[in-house]
Amino acid sequence: MKLVKDIDNENPRNISDKEAEEAFKTILAWMGEDPNREGLLETPKRVVKAFKEYFKGYKEDPKSILDKTFGDVDGYDDMVVQKNISVQSHCEHHMAPIIGKAHVAYIPKNRVVGLSKLARVVEVFSKRLQTQERLTMQIAKTLMKSLDAKGVAVTIDSTHQCMTMRGIKKEQATTVTNYYLGQFKEDLSYQNRYLRFISITKD
């Protein structure tokens, strides 16, 4: 996977794992814990390892995922819809989890992309600190530009733990965002078909 060279958050200080572990030790002490007790001795190291997984999207380039496309589709020019892509992200305001599903559609012009690549684009942008609105737009704009598509639609339906576990504590609240480009934005018939497709549930 090609590394991104122009990400604002690209660790400009080249902070080491050891420095990060020391920072988590400080936070444990601030919480009122003893970082040196047996159960917590390896916690900073484990948290650093977990954070590398949570935020691996900073080191990945979503555009490179879409480099390989296929033209042998016999003129297929209707929408391709992928539903129920799992989303696990973190909000940039409280670093609390965002858990939900994404639905993605695009209308190819001349070429299509492997189906797994759509989910991987969602994954890369999800593995960064996010707002749901920006996440939705980033996915849509990247697909539109990289695939030279006639149109793109992205919907995310998620639960924000910064609302369910703290603050207002509304456990059942979910947030839905939509972003349309090209034919999906210009032609309501495409929007309506897309919304019907993503609302279909299996028995």
- Whether 160 is a known active-site residue: answer yes
**Candidate list 60, 90, 91, 191, residue with the active-site label:** 91
**Candidate list 10, 22, 92, 133, residue with the active-site label:** 92
- Report the Cα 132 to chain-centroid distance in Å: 9
- Whether 133 is a known active-site residue: answer no
**Candidate list 10, 42, 93, 133, residue with the active-site label:** 93
Question: Taking a C-beta distance cutoff of 8 angstroms, is the pair 188, 72 a contact?
Answer: no
- Whether 94 is a known active-site residue: answer yes
- Whether 130 is a known active-site residue: answer no
**Candidate list 33, 82, 88, 94, residue with the active-site label:** 94
**Candidate list 130, 160, 183, 191, residue with the active-site label:** 160
Torsion-angle region of residue 200: left (phi > 0), alpha (psi -120 to 50) or beta?
Answer: beta
**Candidate list 162, 172, 183, 186, residue with the active-site label:** 162
* Start-end of H helices in 72-174: 115-126, 132-147, 161-164
Neighbours of 27 (CB within 10 A): 12
**Per-residue DSSP letter, 2:** P
- Whether 92 is a known active-site residue: answer yes
> Looking at the annotation, which residues are catalytic?
91-94, 132, 160, 162
